[in-house]
Amino acid sequence: MRINGRRWRVAVRAGQGRPVLMCNGIGARLELLEPFLDRLDPAIPVIRFDVPGIGGSEMPRLPYNFATLACALGDVLDELGYPETDVLGISWGGGLAQQFALQNPRRCRRLVLVATATGMLMIPAHPRVLSKMITPRRYRDRAYAAAIAATIYGGRLRAEPALAQEILHHHAGRAPGPGYALQLLAGAGWTSLPFLPLIRQPTLILAGDDDPIVPVINAKIMHRLMPDSALHIYPDGHLGLVTRADDLGPRVAEFLRPEPE
C-alpha cells in the first residue's frame, strides 16, 4: 500500500475481530516472525509490515522518529479499515509499540512487549554485544550471522548454531542498507521511561532470562512502572518469540482474547 506517498510492504492475515499489529526488530523483514505467527491462534487477524527502508518498503523522503512512525501506522490502520488494534513489539519494535500506545490510547486496546526496554535510558548490553549490533553485517553475511548469534541473541542459539541459520535465513545476505541507519537514528535520544506510568493499556511483558541485548532487569523495571502490566520471564534469549513459539504463541493468544461481555 502507499502511505504518505511511499510504498509500504504490508502483510495481513485474515481473521475475526480486532487484529494484532506486529512491530519487528531493527533491520528485520516481516518474515522473521512467521514461526511465531504459525503458533498464534489462527482466528486472530495479524498485520505485519516492513519499516520504511527495510525489505519491500521504500525509503522515506525524510528521516523519521518513533512519534512520526507511530502516526504512519495509524494511516496503515485507516487504509485497512481497523479503528482499533492490539500491538505487539519485539526489541526495537517494542519501542515503537510503546510510542504507539501512548499516542493512540483509543486505538490500542492491549500491548505485548517482547525482549525490549525503555530506549536510551535502560540497563545496557555489554559493549561487545553492542559493537556487533551497531553494524548490519549480520544481514549481509550468513556465516557471520550464525557465528555471532550465540553472543548477541543468547538462549537456545548458544547451543544450536543450525537453528540460528534457520531463523536468520530470510535476513542474512539481504543488507538493509540506509534503512538500518534510519532505524538507529529513530531510536537515538528516545526513551519511554518518563511516560511508562501513562500507558494504561493492559500490557504483557515477555523477557528472556538469557538475553544479551536486553538484560532481563529492564523488563522488571518496566513492569514496576506500568500500572496494568504482567511480566513473564521465559528460559531463552533475545529471539525467544521465535525459538519458544510453541510456548509463547498460546500465551500471547490467551492474553489477546476478547474480554467477556
Catalytically active residues are 91
CA distance 81 to 261: 23
Q: Rounded to whole angstroms, how far apart are CA atoms 220 and 111? A: 16
Q: Which of 186, 231, 254, 184 is nearest to 27 (CA)?
A: 184
> How far is the CA of 92 from the CAs of 66, 124, 143, 212, 241, in angstroms?
10, 14, 24, 14, 14
Task: Give the CB-side neighbour count of residue 154, counting CA atoms within 13 A.
Answer: 21
CA distance 256 to 138: 33
Residue with cell 538507529: 184
- 29, three cell numbers: 523483514
CB atoms within 10 A of CB 184: 14
